[in-house]
Structure 1
Amino acid sequence: MDVLTSAEAAVVERARAAPMLAHLEPWVAVNSGTRNLTGLARMAQLLADAFSALPGGIALIKPDPVEAISATGRLQPIEHGRHLLLTVRPQAPIQLLFAGHMDTVYPADHPFQKMRVREDGALNGPGAADMKGGLAVMLAALEAIENSGFAGRLGYQVVINSDEETGSLSSAPLIARAARGKAAAFVYEPSLADGTLAGARGGTGNFSLAVTGRSAHAGRNPEEGRNALVAAAELALRLADAAGDGLTVNPARIDGGSPNNVVPEHAVLRVNFRPASLDAAARAQAALDSAATEVAAGHDVRVECHGSFNRPPKPIDAAAERLFGLVRDAGQSLGLSVGWRDTGGVCDGNNIAACGVPVIDTMGVRGGAIHSPEEYMLPDSLAERAALSALSILRLVERGSA
């Protein structure tokens, strides 16, 4: 283990001693599923109150408008909660970005609503790991830095969005603006239970293909109908065949249909793409375009495509490697073994990396079973990860960049 300087040791101890569990318990008690606007408003206010301990100005930012295709093929607006933005010392020589999300995957009527202590000491609760625990770690690390002699050299923004779990569609422009000009970024998604971080990530794209045919009587004049459901099924098969060579395709759902004696006029295919590279994303887009054109012509239907590749692939470039090396070395100084591996999952780290900013996006607590009622976090990882963040930030400031 490397010897910490006296300044580093003071920052690390301050981070470890922060009352993170006292923050986490009331945060987990608030249901903040992405569509629960009342819960998100409550969560945003709790976070604004907690992060007001830091200097700078806090704003709750109105979400950008988002539309989605309904089951009948019509565009309809989707409401989101406000996003938190904190800006501290924007003129300081070193500018960093810290990001997280306040939403969870558990809707207001989900039975998983409370936190409990498991027999092994782990905390089982909605959002405990993903990622309200990470928000507590972020706050503790930043408070420790603010109480050091290095704070004046550091400027930063904190973005905590309300829609990460559904793709950050209403917050992506805010994230892109906040990433501009930053030397590095930390996102507080949970690490694995053993502390392993996410390295390179693939991208993702979600699309809805609305098919409009023509209804007709299934027995009297079926030849006059144009079966939208059959056309949607062919789209699903064609797109599934595009998988391979760094691209996975998941036709996930077809909305539509009609009574048995009616040729269905409307159908909507929902499909998810996971490209490992920008080339794979381009091939996916080409497959979408050709399938829509050919199926529309072959079935005499209209096909309208709605969606995007909202999370670009996140490779590990030289700048990201240097940032990982800095965090690894900070871990060694704390007696931690910090490793990373590639993953097919996505998060706001993808969007930040696409802005040219080196990012580590699993700086949060150690835990597992996220997105399920078994979600858990390991309580001792609060102090551990706060210390890791605080020391990494301090060394970024000392070195002047990633």
Structure 2
Amino acid sequence: MTLSATETDAVAALDAEAMLAQVETWAAINSGTGNLSGLATMAAMLGDSFAVLPGEIQLVEPAPVETIAANGRAVALDHGRHLTLSVRPDAPVQLLLTGHMDTVYPVDHAFQTVARIDQATLGGPGVADMKGGLAVMLAALRAVETTPLAARIGYTVVVNSDEETGSLSSAALLAETARGKLAALTYEPALPDGTLAGARGGTGNFSILVRGRSAHAGRNPEDGRNAIVAAADLALRSSKTAGAGLTVNPARIDGGGPNNVVPDQAVLRINFRPADDAAIDRARAQLDAAVSAVAADHDVAITVHGGFNRPPKPIDADAARLFALVKDAGADLGLDIGWRATGGVCDGNNIAAAGVPVIDTMGVRGGAIHSPDEFMLIDSLAERAALSAVTILRLAGRGRL
């Protein structure tokens, strides 16, 4: 198969220089997940940019989220608003396109500058993950809108503000907007060589509160119940549950105080990465067993907060068909599209869990994400926008995977 005249015209409508200018502007805005002011600025800029598309733009309030503070208290965790756009909701073919406006770089992070690394490479916070991806998404949709097939396809765009911390305030929004969609495209970055993410494992994040009993460390330590020791024991027992299909990372223990006081409280932060649903069941059972054993052995009270917020994302038959469609579109554009499994997670996990096939690395080619060396390959802007535009047009024309 080769590109149709409609597809050729859509690709020709792409403006690489405009995309690059958008990325440079957007990446200069610090929009770390906790920077509510920066997120508000970013949401407003995205709203203005996406307003060139037909449909209704809304800024959706984040769902309430609680977190366990270092002192063991549950506190509200504030998030920015999420942007949505709905276009032709009654069209025969319905798609979901998602991205995120937040980055991992807080407002006081040293990495704040967007600059050319060389003629082919742009460096900066979020250039790949995923402000470059947002530019690709927008350009592809603008190109689709210039074609006669646009009338056949409707789509919902969701750009959330909390993907980097687990999408806790946008998970329900993602599930709701995924309902009834033929397929979904998410704009996380591809690898520098263009490889896409295939199957993904899941993730679970837990804050485990341990309450012991304080006492004088020298006069009567036997009357105390050391929460730090109990939390450390729980961390060790939990780490030993790792095995095939499950990794476990005890990441932090908050608590303690003066050296002469037996600490009566600690909070263990721990991350699980299950490869499949069976690994989730195993992790839950092993965590429950470890909590019971530590509580009994150390005479402490333990409360577990958190859960598995992103289910594993296998490649089922529908997802395989969607990958095949994208691969064929890439081949007609002169691109060799491959994919491989990854241990990372993203909103693609949530979308797949809603029963919608998704490819979640439709963004730019780039790398070193989540580090001060993050980069985007500039020529991938037009390349990946073309890939998205052709993919969307073929879904519109076929009406099926």
Relative to the length of structure 1, the TM-score reads: 0.98
1:365 aligns with 2:364: yes
Q: How do 1:14-53 residues align onto structure 2 when only pairs under 5 Å count?
A: 14-15=13-14, 19-53=18-52
Match of 1:318 in 2: 317
Cα deviation digits, residues 106-155 of structure 1 (max 9, x gap):
01011111110013530001000000000000000001111110111111
Match of 1:217 in 2: 216
Contact 1:90 1:156 in 2 (8 A): yes
Match of 2:160 in 1: 161
Give the Cα separation in 1 of the matches to 2:138 and 2:118: 28
Give the Cα separation in 1 of the matches to 2:399 and 2:294: 55
Q: Which moved further from structure 2: 146-155 or 128-137?
A: 146-155
Q: How do 1:183-262 residues align onto structure 2 when only pairs under 5 Å count?
A: 183-262=182-261
CA RMSD of superposed structures (Å): 0.9
Instruction: Please state how far the C-alpha of 1:29 moved relative to its aligned partner.
Output: 0.9
Instruction: Please state how far the C-alpha of 1:18 moved relative to its aligned partner.
Output: 7.0
Instruction: Please state how far the C-alpha of 1:257 moved relative to its aligned partner.
Output: 1.3
Instruction: Please state how far the C-alpha of 1:245 moved relative to its aligned partner.
Output: 1.7
Give the Cα separation in 2 of the matches to 1:326 and 1:15: 21
1:381 aligns with 2:390: no
Q: Which moved further from structure 2: 291-300 or 12-21?
A: 12-21
Give the Cα separation in 2 of the matches to 1:74 and 1:211: 12
Give the Cα separation in 2 of the matches to 1:380 and 1:120: 10
Give the Cα separation in 2 of the matches to 1:119 and 1:59: 38
Instruction: Please state how far the C-alpha of 1:315 moved relative to its aligned partner.
Output: 0.2
Say which SS state the counterpart of residue 254 (structure 2) adopts.
strand
Instruction: Please state how far the C-alpha of 1:17 moved relative to its aligned partner.
Output: 5.1
Contact 2:39 2:101 in 1 (8 A): yes
Q: Which amino acid in the other structure matches residue 334 of structure 1?
A: L
Q: How do 1:1-400 residues align onto structure 2 when only pairs under 5 Å count?
A: 2-15=1-14, 19-119=18-118, 121-400=120-399
Say which SS state the counterpart of residue 249 (structure 1) adopts.
strand
Relative to the length of structure 2, the TM-score reads: 0.99
Cα deviation digits, residues 342-392 of structure 1 (max 9, x gap):
000000000000011000000000000000110000000000000000000
Instruction: Please state how far the C-alpha of 1:19 moved relative to its aligned partner.
Output: 1.8
Give structure 1 stretches of 5+ with no counterpart: none
Say which SS state the counterpart of residue 54 (structure 1) adopts.
coil
Cα deviation digits, residues 286-335 of structure 1 (max 9, x gap):
11111112211221111011111011000000000000000000000000
Contact 1:18 1:140 in 2 (8 A): no
Could you list the structure 1 runs, at least 4 aligned residues long, displaced by more than 4 angstroms after superposition. none
Say which SS state the counterpart of residue 98 (structure 1) adopts.
strand
Give the Cα separation in 2 of the matches to 1:276 and 1:173: 23
Instruction: Please state how far the C-alpha of 1:36 moved relative to its aligned partner.
Output: 0.3
Q: Which amino acid in the other structure matches residue 63 of structure 2?
A: D
Contact 1:197 1:362 in 2 (8 A): yes
Q: Which amino acid in the other structure matches residue 394 of structure 1?
A: L
* % same residue: 68
Q: Which amino acid in the other structure matches residue 43 of structure 1?
A: M
Say which SS state the counterpart of residue 322 (structure 2) adopts.
helix
Instruction: Please state how far the C-alpha of 1:178 moved relative to its aligned partner.
Output: 0.6
Give the Cα separation in 2 of the matches to 1:46 and 1:373: 24
Give the Cα separation in 2 of the matches to 1:18 and 1:326: 28
Contact 1:24 1:132 in 2 (8 A): yes
Give the Cα separation in 1 of the matches to 2:89 and 2:104: 33
Counting matched residue pairs gives 401
Q: Which moved further from structure 2: 163-172 or 284-293?
A: 284-293
Give the Cα separation in 1 of the matches to 2:381 and 2:368: 17
Give the Cα separation in 1 of the matches to 2:111 and 2:259: 39
Q: Which amino acid in the other structure matches residue 45 of structure 1?
A: A
Say which SS state the counterpart of residue 72 (structure 1) adopts.
coil
Contact 2:16 2:381 in 1 (8 A): no
Give the Cα separation in 2 of the matches to 1:135 and 1:35: 20
Say which SS state the counterpart of residue 176 (structure 2) adopts.
helix
Give the Cα separation in 1 of the matches to 2:2 and 2:32: 43
Q: Which amino acid in the other structure matches residue 53 of structure 1?
A: V
Q: Which amino acid in the other structure matches residue 131 of structure 2?
A: K
Give the Cα separation in 2 of the matches to 1:322 and 1:69: 42
Instruction: Please state how far the C-alpha of 1:401 moved relative to its aligned partner.
Output: 1.7
Instruction: Please state how far the C-alpha of 1:15 moved relative to its aligned partner.
Output: 2.8
Contact 1:16 1:387 in 2 (8 A): no
Contact 1:32 1:39 in 2 (8 A): yes
Contact 1:15 1:390 in 2 (8 A): no
